[in-house]
Amino acid sequence: MRWMCGVVAALLAAGCFREVIRTFEIRVPQMRTPQAVQMVEQALRGFDTNILIRVETDPSNRVVRVTYNSERAARRNFERAIVLLGFDANDLPGDPARRAQLPEELR
């Protein structure tokens, strides 16, 4: 009987793991052109498919919606990917050196 309780407990514990899927928005003020949208999408799609579930861009509002597995990555990872392009991402300023290399219409 005791071994049966152990087996049941092990099965219940194994079934407790679940992914935590979250969606959040990143404000990207420089995302004004199709080229900027493409750059942002490309940077975010570089994440593993076990981490990144979906990317939706809204250029008219200059927002990116990211759906991701929060057990495998933090929000800041996605914001930093955009910052490394030279673009601002929410409260993080774009990397100044990278921004200087962008064409004028993307700064």
Report pLDDT digits (tens) over 11-60.
555 555 567 999 999 999 999 999 999 999 999 999 998 899 999 999 99
CATH code of the domain covering residue 46: 3.30.70.100
Residue 4 lies in a domain: no
Give a yes or no: residue 47 inside a domain.
yes
What value does the mean pLDDT of the chain take?
88
What is the pLDDT, as a whole number, of residue 93?
Answer: 97
Q: Whole-model pTM?
A: 0.81
- Give how many domains the chain has, as a whole number: 1
The verdict on residue 9 lying in a domain is: no
Other CB atoms within a 10 A radius of the CB of residue 37 amount to: 17
For the cut 60, the answer to whether the pLDDT of residue 100 exceeds it is yes
Q: Domain containing 56: what range?
A: 20-106
Confidence of residue 92 (pLDDT cuts 50, 70, 90): very high
As a whole number of angstroms, the distance between CA 79 and CA 83 comes to 6
Residue 2 included in any domain: no
